[in-house]
Structure formats: structure tokens, C-alpha cells
Amino acid sequence: MSPAFALSLTVLMTVLLACILGGLLRVLRGPTRADRMLAAQLFGTTATAVLILMALATGDRSLIDVALAFAVLAAVTVVAFVATSGRGAP
């Protein structure tokens, strides 16, 4: 891997982490719980993207499997939120 490609991957990962920071801002401001769950969905997809880039940057292919687990679990969080929020749960 050329140094320029490695540097570009680092820059892309940093930008994606900044996106997660933006999502945290939305969690802070709300105003409803649905908005906060939207941010959680953003975290799921962004973390998957960061892990894919990290697998390229480090050459450790097991990180792709971690990204796969994130992709599955992100769906579970949203379904769990919607399933519980209709019944007066906290």
C-alpha cells in the first residue's frame, strides 16, 4: 500500500468520526426519542464504514466480520426501540 493511499484512508476515517460527533450533537439536542434513535442508526452505519476502512488500512481482515456484526446489531437496536416505545416503556 502506498503512503498516499494510507494517508487518504486516515483522512476518510477522521471525517467519518466527525460525522459520529455530529450525531452525538443530535442525541444531545433531541428533542424527541425518535430523533435520538435516528442518531443511533447513523452510528450503526458510520461505524460499519469506519470498520471497513480500518480493515483496509491495517490489513486485518477480521475487522470486516466485526463490521458485519455491527450491520446486524444496528437493525436490532431500532426494532427493540420501536417495539418497547409503544407500550409506555421508559
Partner 1 sequence: MSGLEALALALMVPGTVFFVAGTVGMLRFPDAVSRLHALTKADGLGLVLIAAGAAVAAGSAGVALRLVLICVLVGLAGALGAHLIARLVRSGGEG
Gap between the Cα atoms of 32 and 58, Å rounded:
39
CB of 90 to partner 1, least distance (A): 13
Cα dihedral 33/39/42/43 (nearest 10): -110
What residue ranges bind partner 1 (CB under 8 A)? 1-2, 4-5, 8, 12, 15-16, 18-19, 22-23, 25-26, 32-35, 37-39, 41-42, 44-46, 48-49, 52-53, 55-56, 61, 64-65, 67-68, 71-72, 74-75, 78-79, 82, 85-86
CB of 60 to partner 1, least distance (A): 11
CB of 81 to partner 1, least distance (A): 8
Sign of CA pseudo-dihedral 17, 77, 75, 41: negative
Asked if residue 36 lies in contact with residue 44, where contact means CB atoms within 8 angstroms, the answer is no
